[in-house]
């Protein structure tokens, strides 16, 4: 590495020092805005929520319900859910256009929304971003059978993957 030495006259040193100090002083003012004005941070970009490919009215109705923990039990669980139509699980229409369903650990139905997610996935859960811990991912839906899996691993471990089989004609 080479070092370059500049020889400046005392007058040039004063001028150069003045320029450096002026630059530092102006640099300290950057971003402070007009005196008396408060800087407002830039608003975060608005992320458009993706619409779900399933509409709320498609899942409103009476359903037989069962759940499983092992994929090998899915077919047997679907048959068990079909047998529960004598005591159906009712998914109602919510007042704001969502669906009325039970959440984990809650005896009272609440309105949930259908949300689209990356890769064409669908979710059912409280309003907000898709794929959050309180959401359920729609594993499959063909109009007659609806499979939902909790996002939260702890809740999934307790409740398993839900299988809903539509009772009677489609609503």
CA-to-CA dists, residue 34 to 4, 26, 109, 158, angstroms: 41, 13, 53, 58
**pLDDT attached to residue 43:** 47
**pLDDT attached to residue 45:** 42
**pLDDT attached to residue 50:** 83
Task: Give kind and range of the element (H or E) at residue 39.
Answer: none
Bridge partners (DSSP) of residue 146 are 141, 164
8 A C-beta contact, residue 114 and residue 54 = yes
CA-to-CA dists, residue 77 to 40, 52, 103, 116, 132, angstroms: 55, 26, 21, 26, 26
**pLDDT attached to residue 21:** 53
| Alpha-helix residue ranges (DSSP H) falling in the chain | 10-29, 56-59, 74-82, 153-159
Mean pLDDT, the chain cut into blocks of 10 residues (171 residues total) = 57 55 56 51 52 94 97 96 96 96 92 95 96 96 97 96 88 45
Give the residue extent of every domain in the chain: 56-166
**pLDDT attached to residue 46:** 38
The reported pTM is: 0.69
**pLDDT attached to residue 9:** 65
């Amino acid at each position: 590495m080479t070092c370059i030495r500049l020889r400046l006259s005392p007058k040039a040193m004063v001028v150069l020092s003045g320029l450096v100090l002026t630059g530092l002083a102006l640099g300290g003012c950057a971003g402070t805005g007009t005196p008396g004005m408060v800087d407002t941070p830039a608003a975060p970009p608005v992320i458009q929520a993706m619409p779900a490919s399933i509409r709320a009215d498609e899942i409103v109705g009476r359903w037989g319900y069962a759940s499983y923990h092992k994929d090998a039990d899915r077919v047997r669980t679907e048959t068990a859910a079909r047998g529960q139509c004598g005591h159906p699980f009712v998914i109602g229409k919510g007042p704001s256009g969502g669906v009325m369903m039970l959440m984990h650990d809650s005896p009272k139905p609440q309105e949930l929304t259908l949300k689209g997610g990356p890769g064409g996935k669908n979710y059912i859960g409280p309003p907000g971003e898709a794929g959050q811990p309180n959401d359920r991912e729609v594993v499959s839906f063909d109009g007659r059978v609806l499979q939902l899996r909790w996002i939260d691993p702890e809740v999934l471990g307790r409740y398993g993957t839900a299988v809903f089989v539509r009772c009677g004609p489609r609503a």
